[in-house]
């Protein structure tokens, strides 16, 4: 499989089989994430892998609410990975502050995609979740400020049988050579 083919197999999976995920596979996803680049190599990330069914379901229930319901499928995922971030120390972030950019959030996006692409390589499905109840998750997992969950990633064997076509803008709309 070429790298481009691998990218095409990654999709947001919103239905999972009731099948545990092998620890070696999770470890390889984390290793792929560990090797991600970050601004000034600050690596402002930490992963909490939640697979204990009770705790996992509690975290899953914190990814939706009575008002915001679109993540109601999350409890089907056997594993949830909570990706924490924080603003690195002042001397590291100074460049970002001067430019009004939060580099750690850029870093988190990169590390999350490393994780998800390795998961695709392992035959596993993922979905990054940006909507969740931050305070609830921090309490459940004893996450203390300045650390904060930036994303929750669902992980498991996909319950979908086919890869959807990607709905994306055409290259002509987003590319410019100068
Ligand atoms: C930062 C971020 C936050 C997202 N949050 C959610 C979410 O809360 N719930 C969800 O179902 N999908 C979420 N997604 C998945 C996107 O909807 C999905 O990536 C996009 O529609 C493209 O589809 P694909 O991943 O299948 O290619 C999120 C994706 C990203 C990158």
- For 27, counting Cβ atoms within 10 Å of its Cβ (0-12 exposed, 13-18 middle, 19+ buried), the class is exposed
Question: Is 107 within 8 Å of 85 (Cβ atoms)?
Answer: yes
- pLDDT value at residue 90: 66
The residues with which 155 forms a beta bridge, in sequence order, are 79, 126
Residue 153, SS3? Answer: strand
pTM: 0.96
pLDDT at 95 over 70: no
Q: What are phi and psi of 153, to 5 degrees?
A: -115, 125
The helix (H) or strand (E) run that includes residue 111 is helix 103-121
Which residue from 111, 128, 152, 153 has its CB within 8 A of the most atoms of ligand 1, so it is best to mutate?
Answer: 128
Could you read off the pLDDT of 42-82 as tens digits, one per residue?
999 999 999 999 999 999 999 999 999 999 999 999 999 99
Give me the pLDDT at residue 89, please: 74
Q: What are phi and psi of 72, to 5 degrees?
A: -65, -15
Model pLDDT, residue 101: 82
Q: Residue 88 above 90 pLDDT?
A: no
> Going by CA atoms, what residue is nearest to atom 12 of ligand 1?
129
Q: 83 has which bridge partners?
A: 47, 151
CATH architecture of 13-126+135-160: 3-Layer(aba) Sandwich (3.40)
Confidence bin at 93 (pLDDT 50/70/90):
low
Residues 6 or more apart from 54 whose CB is under 8 A from it? none
CA distance 78 to 49: 11
Closest ligand 1 atom to 11 CA: 26
Compute the distance from residue 94 Cα to the ligand 1 centre, in Å.
30
Q: How confident is the model at residue 115 (pLDDT cuts 50, 70, 90)?
A: very high
Burial 30-48 (b: 16+ CB within 10 A, else e): bebbeebebbeebebbebb
> Which tens digit of pLDDT belongs to each residue from 1-41?
999 999 999 999 999 999 999 999 999 999 999 999 999 99
Q: What is the pLDDT of residue 74?
A: 98
**Ligand 1 pocket: which of 130, 133, 137 to mutate (most atoms within 8 A of CB):** 130
pLDDT band per the 50, 70, 90 thresholds, residue 122: very high
**What is the residue extent of each domain of the chain?**
13-126+135-160
**Percentage of the chain with pLDDT > 90?**
91
Considering only CA atoms, which residue is closest to atom 19 of ligand 1?
Answer: 12
């Amino acid at each position: 499989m070429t790298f481009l083919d691998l990218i095409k197999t990654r999709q947001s999976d919103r239905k999972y089989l009731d099948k545990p995920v092998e620890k070696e596979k999770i470890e390889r996803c984390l290793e792929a994430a560990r090797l991600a680049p970050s601004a000034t190599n600050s690596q402002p990330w930490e992963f909490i892998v939640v697979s204990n069914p009770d705790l996992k379901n509690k975290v899953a229930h914190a990814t939706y609410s009575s008002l915001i319901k679109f993540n109601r499928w999350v409890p089907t995922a056997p594993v949830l990975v909570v990706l924490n971030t924080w603003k690195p120390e002042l001397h590291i972030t100074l460049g970002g502050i001067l430019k009004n950019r939060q580099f750690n959030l850029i870093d988190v996006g990169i590390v999350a995609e490393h994780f998800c692409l390795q998961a695709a390589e392992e035959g596993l499905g993922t979905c990054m979740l940006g909507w969740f109840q931050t305070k609830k998750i921090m309490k459940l997992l004893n996450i203390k400020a300045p650390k904060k969950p930036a994303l929750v990633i669902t992980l498991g064997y996909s319950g979908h049988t086919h890869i959807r076509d990607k709905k994306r803008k055409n290259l002509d709309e987003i590319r410019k050579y100068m």
